[in-house]
């Protein structure tokens, strides 16, 4: 996997299945949110034995588009961007992965997009082969995976509406509301939304240029709808911003 660099100085960040420290899963902060939540103790132990805990630096590549998909990943902390590149360099970000997200839902031969870390990131890595076999013997895990894939599909269709039929301002508002919802599931209150990605990333997610994203954020800030803070925004007028993002 070209460009993949795994941290050697692995601190005990892995919070999920870990081959060396069995049953680490039980302390995993994202267990109930991720695929693992579908498993009983015996199954969790079995999955545990298959898992390799990995950590990545910001900007490290998890995997690249079109390469053989030997592994699937379960993110336990940090965030990543998932993107497709056109031959001429244009980029479309198809999603941002947060803790609890599973990469490799499709279980296809090759990756249909690239993924790299936006922040230091830890994940449980599984051999696709082994995971697929485990799936065959654990139908309710398959059901869980299918539900997650269905949910992803639904989000992708929402994103199609945003990309195809919304103005720049609405796009940015919808993006913030969408992220708020996802962060909300992980932490408690969510008036302050962390933005680990750059303006360029946001633009490539929304089908806009960096400049337009910056202008729209500035405009929202000028109108006291949001407050721009380091590495995030604080939502000051949630009703206004939801009205803009209204679906």
Partner DNA sequence: CGTTGGGTTGATCGACCTCAATAAAAGTGG
Partner DNA sequence: CCACTTTTATTGAGGTCGATCAACCCAACG
Please tell me whether residue 236 binds its own copies under the rule CB under 8 A.
no
Residue 124 β-bridge partners? 53, 74
Which is closer to DNA, CB of 20 or CB of 165? Answer: 165
Which is closer to DNA, CB of 16 or CB of 118? Answer: 118
Nearest-approach distance from CB 139 to its own copies, in angstroms: 4
Q: 3-class SS at 25?
A: helix
Instruction: Give the full edge-to-edge strand order of the sheet including 232-235.
Output: 192-194, 232-235, 226-229
Nearest-approach distance from CB 221 to DNA, in angstroms: 8
Distance CA 184, CA 186 (A): 5
Binding mask 157-176 for DNA (x = CB under 7 A): ----------xxx-------
Query: What tokens appear for 227 in the block?
Result: 């407050």
Please tell me whether residue 109 binds its own copies under the rule CB under 8 A.
no
User: Total binding residues for its own copies by CB under 8 A?
Assistant: 43
Which is closer to DNA, CB of 54 or CB of 206? Answer: 206
- The single-letter DSSP state of residue 112 is S
Please tell me whether residue 146 binds its own copies under the rule CB under 8 A.
yes
Which of 224, 200, 196 lies closest to 212, judged by CA? 200
Please tell me whether residue 207 binds DNA under the rule CB under 7 A.
yes
- Cβ(118)–Cβ(79) under 8 Å? yes
Please tell me whether residue 92 binds DNA under the rule CB under 7 A.
no
Binding mask 60-99 for its own copies (x = CB under 8 A): ------------------------x-xx--xxx-x-----
Helix (H) or strand (E) holding 195: none
Which is closer to DNA, CB of 169 or CB of 242? Answer: 169
Measured CA distances, 217 to 73, 128, 141, 209 (Å) = 33, 40, 41, 13
Give the footprint of DNA on this chain (CB under 7 A): 167-169, 198-200, 207-215, 217-218, 228, 230-231
């Amino acid at each position: 996997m070209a460009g993949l660099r795994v941290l050697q100085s692995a601190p005990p960040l892995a919070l999920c299945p870990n081959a060396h420290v069995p049953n680490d899963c039980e302390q995993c902060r994202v267990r109930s949110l991720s695929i693992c939540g579908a498993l009983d103790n015996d199954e969790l132990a079995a999955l545990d034995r298959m898992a390799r805990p990995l950590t990545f630096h910001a900007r490290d590549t998890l995997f690249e588009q079109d390469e053989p998909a030997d592994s699937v990943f379960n993110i336990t902390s940090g965030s990543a961007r998932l993107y497709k590149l056109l031959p001429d360099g244009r980029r479309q970000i198809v999603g941002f992965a947060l803790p609890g997200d599973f990469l490799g839902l499709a279980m296809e031969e090759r990756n249909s997009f690239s993924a790299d870390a936006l922040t230091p990131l830890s994940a449980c890595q599984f051999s696709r082969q082994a995971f697929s076999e485990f799936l065959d013997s654990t139908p309710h895990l398959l059901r869980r995976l299918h539900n997650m894939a269905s949910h992803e599909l639904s989000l992708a269709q929402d994103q199609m509406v945003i990309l195809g039929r919304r103005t720049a301002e609405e796009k940015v508002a919808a993006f913030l509301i969408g992220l708020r919802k996802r962060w909300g599931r992980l932490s408690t209150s969510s008036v302050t939304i962390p933005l680990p990605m750059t303006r360029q990333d946001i633009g490539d997610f929304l089908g806009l240029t960096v400049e337009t994203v910056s202008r729209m954020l500035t405009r929202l800030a000028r109108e006291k709808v949001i407050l721009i803070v380091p590495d995030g925004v604080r939502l000051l007028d949630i009703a206004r911003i939801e009205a803009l993002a209204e679906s």
